[in-house]
A and B are shown apart, each in its own frame.
Chain A
Amino acid sequence: GIQVEQSPPDLILQEGANSTLRCNFSDSVNNLQWFHQNPWGQLINLFYIPSGTKQNGRLSATTVATERYSLLYISSSQTTDSGVYFCAVGPYNQGGKLIFGQGTELSVKP
Chain B
Amino acid sequence: GAVVSQHPSWVICKSGTSVKIECRSLDFQATTMFWYRQFPKQSLMLMATSNEGSKATYEQGVEKDKFLINHASLTLSTLTVTSAHPEDSSFYICSAKKPGHPWDSTEAFFGQGTRLTVV
How large, as a class, is the contact surface on chain B? 20 to 34
Cα distance A40–B36 in the bound complex, in angstroms: 16
Please tell me if the beta carbons of B43 and A43 are within 8 angstroms of each other in the complex: no
| Contact of B43 (CB < 8 Å), options: A40, A90, A93, A103 | A103
Cα distance A98–B104 in the bound complex, in angstroms: 10
Please tell me if the beta carbons of A96 and B44 are within 8 angstroms of each other in the complex: no
Residues of B near A48 (CB, < 8 A) are: 107
> 1/0 per position for B39-51, CB-CB distance to A under 8 A?
0001111100100
Residues in chain B within 8 A of chain A (CB atoms)? 1, 32, 34, 36, 38, 42-46, 49, 57, 91, 93, 95, 97, 102-110, 112-113, 115
| Contact of A42 (CB < 8 Å), options: B44, B106, B110 | B110
Please tell me if the beta carbons of A41 and B34 are within 8 angstroms of each other in the complex: no
Instruction: Looking at the assembled complex, report how far the CB atom of A25 sits from the nearest CB atom of chain B, in whole angstroms.
Output: 14
